[in-house]
Amino acid sequence: MRILLVEDEDSIAEPLTVGLRREGFEVERAATGGAALAAAAADLVLLDLRLPDGDGLDVCRRLRERGDTPIIVVTARGEEPDRVVGLELGADDYVVKPFGLRELIARIRAVTRRTGPRTSNAVLVAGRIQVDERARRASIDGRELELTPKEFDVLAALVRDPGAAISRRRLLEEVWHTTWVGSAKTVDVHVAGLRKKLADPSLIETVRGVGFRLRVP
């Protein structure tokens, strides 16, 4: 597996690179956000947020716009707003410094298992909505939807169980692979985006105190 390590501090990057390579990972380091965006495609990105040429959150957003490469934010910024924004922008996990190498490797393996290639050939249909999980395409009334990766995953989770109340916790586990309650508001943000793109907000109902439900006739 090829990892892109985005870290400007040599004292952190160098031992981390050695440790990851010892575990069999191929590591390329980028010391700036610009270098990270210019780097060749990787299988996973370890991204620090404090970079000399800008905010790592912007780098996270731009990387996520390019595709579904797993992103683990590795940073000293452990405040709740930073965690929430990072998850909203597409990070798959969030590790706060200081951390142990074994913990980081465990998180890398967990994230790659959960975000690995989809093998399902199923095309899910719920009322007016159709979701092709293999092609990662979704449509309503035959109109293709332009969704972010996380919006697609939220919609797919709702379509898999139409009419059922899906809790925010379940969506966090299935889509963001976390149970951290402080990130629950990011679910609401993505549902709001979905409602707008579906052009029919009533299709996704809010279940008070629980989460959301896909309404089907």
Same domain, yes or no, for 52 and 84? yes
Q: Which of 5, 149, 3, 8 is nearest to 65 (CA)?
A: 149
Mean pLDDT across 132-148: 92
Same domain, yes or no, for 85 and 128? no
Who's near 7: CB < 8 A, 6+ residues apart? 13, 16, 29, 30, 31, 46, 48, 74
Task: Using DSSP, state whether 200 is helix, strand or coil.
Answer: coil
Same domain, yes or no, for 130 and 88? no
Query: pLDDT at position 20, please?
Result: 92
Last residue of a domain, one of 114, 133, 157: 114
Query: pLDDT at position 115, please?
Result: 65
What sign has the CA pseudo-torsion 63, 65, 66, 72? positive
Same domain, yes or no, for 170 and 80? no
| pLDDT of 63 strictly over 50 | yes
Longest dimension (CA), the chain: 59
Q: What percent of the chain has pLDDT over 70?
A: 91
Same domain, yes or no, for 100 and 151? no
Same domain, yes or no, for 36 and 107? yes
What is the rounded distance in angstroms from the CA atom of residue 170 to the CA atom of residue 66?
Answer: 26
pLDDT (tens digit per residue) in 154-196:
999 999 888 888 888 888 878 887 766 566 788 999 999 999 9
pLDDT (tens digit per residue) in 69-125:
899 998 886 666 766 777 777 888 888 888 888 889 888 888 877 665 544 456 889
Same domain, yes or no, for 109 and 7? yes
Report residue 134 CA to chain centroid gap.
18
Domain count, the chain: 2
Mean pLDDT across 5-34: 93
Residue numbers of the domain that contains 20:
2-114
Instruction: Write phi, then psi, for 67 (nearest 5 degrees).
Output: 165, -165
Same domain, yes or no, for 84 and 135? no
Same domain, yes or no, for 143 and 81? no
Q: What is the mean pLDDT of the chain?
A: 87
CATH number assigned to the domain comprising residue 194: 1.10.10.10
Which tops the pLDDT comparison, 169 or 35?
A: 35
Query: pLDDT at position 190, please?
Result: 93
Same domain, yes or no, for 107 and 152? no
Ranges 36-45, 83-92, 128-137: which has the least confidence? 83-92
Who's near 193: CB < 8 A, 6+ residues apart? 148, 151
Same domain, yes or no, for 155 and 207? yes
Say if CB 198 and CB 140 are below 8 A apart. Answer: yes
Same domain, yes or no, for 170 and 196? yes
Which tops the pLDDT comparison, 22 or 194?
A: 194
Task: Using DSSP, state whether 178 is helix, strand or coil.
Answer: coil
Last residue of a domain, one of 89, 114, 139: 114
Query: pLDDT at position 179, please?
Result: 63
- Torsion angle (degrees, nearest 10) of CA 84, 87, 92, 94: -30
CATH number assigned to the domain comprising residue 48: 3.40.50.2300
Say if CB 116 and CB 177 are below 8 A apart. Answer: no
Lookup: tokens for 162: 């139409």
